Structure 1
């Protein structure tokens, strides 16, 4: 399927219908009421998906005008109806909340959902896994390196804030640029790995990336990004908890990162970075998009930074708006920045002119193999998901579904074997720590909750392909 077709599919709107209208065959007057019982989600299907539907409905029960594909119905809470002419899918549930919670269990539709829209996994799947998303921390490596060049506490705090704000576009909006709307990455496997770097340019130094999936239940990703030349390193981990509110999905990001900057004196300055909450809107219109919500914090180096996120209708009246306040611990006067994090911002107080601007092209990470030979190991993400990604790219949903199921079944069997033997999967690059002492030291400066968080300590064992 072409990228143009993919964009057309993701733009198809969702329509709510009354069950009585569906069964009577009258769908010309859909209602958008949110309190209907039961609820219907109606997904019009493009002709390019008819072959895929034929494949997944081989085992089926025909009810009048509808097909009930038994092998993809994974819950007694909902019913999946496919129009006999295969032009639409109707998903029936008792309420909006049940639909939202139960649709995620229809894993057999995961590959089909990549092109249909919010069907099985709620977000169409992209061609990569969650583990690669850690690279978005450094798609502007020159800003990461510039933190080390600052010569005062204030300049360093501003450089950290500028770099952090500049990462948000890559992390939360630009992922959908080539596929039409926000896409759900593949869920990583326990022990999955990714290695890469951004090469030295204009004296900024080479920046290295290492990512490891350190937990599967719950899914937790640990990462390290380091520019050894500049003496700057970011180590962190993240996980997510999802809940539903009205027509939106609320994602609480769990975890934090620690940025360490080595000064010319040899001393280290450390910053604690927390993560914003996410709100995913646009679900019922077939074009999901992300808004950041509430606040995140940057604390360290003599400053407390509070970043407040608001969407359309707040202080700038624009989507992706934010207001950042940098307050010195010595109470000398705040620095305030406002703008939209996916474009530009400006100083409101404590400075003049433009603060950040991410209109310039981002710089993709250069992926590397982690084996001594330079090849990819079996748990490296590009190798592990190679055939799944191929199937999604080429529209071969049978291949993608088969390979995805094979990997998942192998992982499940591995977990069963470990449980039977009383063993656990050994982490390769990180070790867990029940509480992070730096977090406990700095979090009270901004009254952050919880007061304590666990962490994953990097073992400084870079592959020789990255650090010979």
Structure 2
């Protein structure tokens, strides 16, 4: 789409892509590498990925890059290089390296716009890859869709689903970028919702909520199977010395387990542990082997 200069901001789309990597107030990328555990690094990568999404003004757009156009910027020890490798269709490639922090980044993305009458929806095709060389960790992620809405209220939103994954650690994040569909709602506008979980078991580790242009929070997710959750009603009644309520709550848990066992038996479905592979022989007794190599940070913390 060719725009007259009155509707251009004074920079190229190539520069806008690059700025999402190097134009930052707080160096969130460096913080990722400073985290001691793989879980904390993953959480930081998710936070950094969210920070690369920026609010955009309505009614103006950057220049369309010409074929072979480049943008080369250094900030600290981070060196960023972009090139427009195709014009029809438009494809932008990005490489960024930081030898000091052992960071490598490669992006290849192509915007595919579609006109729907009341809005333009642009899907950003391509993969974003981030490597921490000394940690032997590679993170892959995609981009949300860019939506330019004309009616009923003009505006620009980032919408859709984003997946962040680290194959080496088995951690994954699903993020949903949301916006106003018709009537303006402050609670939905530029909001984000999602979770961080273990790919192997689908166990949720953190729940993510907030607004990507303001504050996003990662909340510890306590599983329904967690001991303190299973027996919470019974424990609360015992502490209150309400023995009748404690008996009722305990009976309710036991009956629910019997019901689940009957349902499992009717479906001929064997129960399997989430975290261990269990075997038993008369000669050697019980053998329990962990499924995951490392135990992740827990949702319940004990203070020293």
TM-score range relative to shorter protein: 0.5 to 0.7
Supply the distance in 2 between the matched residues of 1:167 and 1:131 (Cα, whole angstroms).
14
Q: Is the CA contact (8 Å cut-off) linking 1:316 and 1:339 kept in structure 2?
A: no
Supply the distance in 1 between the matched residues of 2:44 and 2:185 (Cα, whole angstroms).
24
The aligned counterpart of 2:123 is: 252
Supply the distance in 1 between the matched residues of 2:59 and 2:132 (Cα, whole angstroms).
34
Give CA deviations for 1:311-345 in whole Å, capped at 9, x if unaligned.
Answer: 13799733111112111124353311101101101
Report the structure, 1 or 2, having the larger helix content: 1
The aligned counterpart of 1:273 is: 141
The aligned counterpart of 2:86 is: 215
The aligned counterpart of 1:121 is: none
Q: Give the superposition deviation at 1:246.
A: 3.3
The aligned counterpart of 2:12 is: 129
For these two proteins, the number of residue pairs brought into alignment is 215
Q: Which of 22, 25, 36 is 1:138 aligned to?
A: 22
Q: Give the superposition deviation at 1:282.
A: 3.5
Supply the distance in 2 between the matched residues of 1:329 and 1:315 (Cα, whole angstroms).
33
Give CA deviations for 1:431-467 in whole Å, capped at 9, x if unaligned.
Answer: xxxxxxxxxxxxxxxxxxxxxxxxxxxxxxxxxxxxx
5+ residue gaps, structure 2: 223-304
The aligned counterpart of 2:45 is: 160
Q: Give the superposition deviation at 1:145.
A: 0.9
State the secondary structure of the residue aligned to 2:32: helix
1:311 equivalent in alignment to 2:179:
yes
Q: Give the superposition deviation at 1:138.
A: 3.1
1:297 equivalent in alignment to 2:163:
yes
- Provide TM-score, normalisation by structure 2: 0.65
Alpha carbons of 1:155 and 1:321: their partners in 2 closer, same or farther (altered >3 Å)? Answer: same
- Tell me: higher relative CO, structure 1 or 2? Use CA pairs within 8 A at least 6 residues apart: 1
Q: Is the CA contact (8 Å cut-off) linking 1:153 and 1:302 kept in structure 2?
A: no
Alpha carbons of 1:184 and 1:315: their partners in 2 closer, same or farther (altered >3 Å)? Answer: closer
The aligned counterpart of 2:36 is: 151
Give CA deviations for 1:199-244 in whole Å, capped at 9, x if unaligned.
Answer: 2xxxxxx211100111111110100122221101210111111112
Q: Is the CA contact (8 Å cut-off) linking 1:194 and 1:210 kept in structure 2?
A: yes
**Could you list the runs of 4 or more consecutive aligned residues of structure 1 that deviate by over 2 angstroms after TM superposition?**
137-141, 282-285, 312-318, 329-334, 347-351
Give CA deviations for 1:170-223 in whole Å, capped at 9, x if unaligned.
Answer: xxx1x53xxxx4521111111111110112xxxxxx211100111111110100
Supply the distance in 1 between the matched residues of 2:162 and 2:80 (Cα, whole angstroms).
23
Supply the distance in 2 between the matched residues of 1:127 and 1:234 (Cα, whole angstroms).
26
Report the structure, 1 or 2, having the larger strand content: 2
State the secondary structure of the residue aligned to 1:334: strand
Q: Give the superposition deviation at 1:154.
A: 0.8
State the secondary structure of the residue aligned to 2:40: helix
Supply the distance in 1 between the matched residues of 2:142 and 2:218 (Cα, whole angstroms).
22
Cα RMSD (Å)? 2.3
State the secondary structure of the residue aligned to 1:137: helix
Give CA deviations for 1:39-75 in whole Å, capped at 9, x if unaligned.
Answer: xxxxxxxxxxxxxxxxxxxxxxxxxxxxxxxxxxxxx
- Provide TM-score, normalisation by structure 1: 0.43
Q: Is the CA contact (8 Å cut-off) linking 2:209 and 2:218 kept in structure 1?
A: yes
Q: Is the CA contact (8 Å cut-off) linking 2:195 and 2:204 kept in structure 1?
A: no
The 5 A counterparts of 1:105-120 are 107=2, 110-111=3-4, 114-115=5-6
Give CA deviations for 1:373-414 in whole Å, capped at 9, x if unaligned.
Answer: xxxxxxxxxxxxxxxxxxxxxxxxxxxxxxxxxxxxxxxxxx
Supply the distance in 1 between the matched residues of 2:38 and 2:68 (Cα, whole angstroms).
38
5+ residue gaps, structure 1: 1-103, 116-123, 200-205, 352-468
Q: Is the CA contact (8 Å cut-off) linking 1:234 and 1:260 kept in structure 2?
A: yes
